[in-house]
Structure 1
Amino acid sequence: MKSLSLPLRLNCLLFASLLTEPSRAGGNDSQQTGTLDAGGARASSANYSQTASVGVLGSRASNAGSNLISKPGFIGQLYEVASLKLSASPATLDEGGTSQVRTTATLDDATLLHLSGGEVKWRVLLGPVEAIDTHGVVKFRNVYQDSFASIEAGYQGRSDGVRFLIRNVGDDDSGIYAHDNIPDLWQVQNFGENNPRGIASADPDGDGQNNFFEYAAGLSPTNAASRFTLEIADLPESAHQKALLLSPRLEGRGYFLESSTDPGAGFAPLTNAEQVDFGTIRLVLDPDASMPHKFYRVKISLP
Structure 2
Amino acid sequence: MNLIDGMKRVAFLTLVSLGGVFAQSSGGPYAISAASLDPAGGRSTGGIYRQDTTLGATGSQAASSTSYQGAAGYPAMLRDAVSLLALPESAPEAAATQLTLRQVLDDGTQNSVSPAAATWNVTSGPASVNAMGLLTAQAVAIDTNATLQITFSGLTSPSTVMVQNTIPDNFGAYASDGLDDSWQVQHFGLNNPLAAPGVDADGDGQNNLFEFTAGLLPNSHASRFIYFLEDVPGQTGQKRIVFQPALARRTFTLLKSTTLLPGSWQPVPGAVTTGNDGTQMLTDPAASGGRAFYQVQINLP
Normalised to the residue count of structure 1, the TM-score between the two structures is 0.48
More strand by share: 2
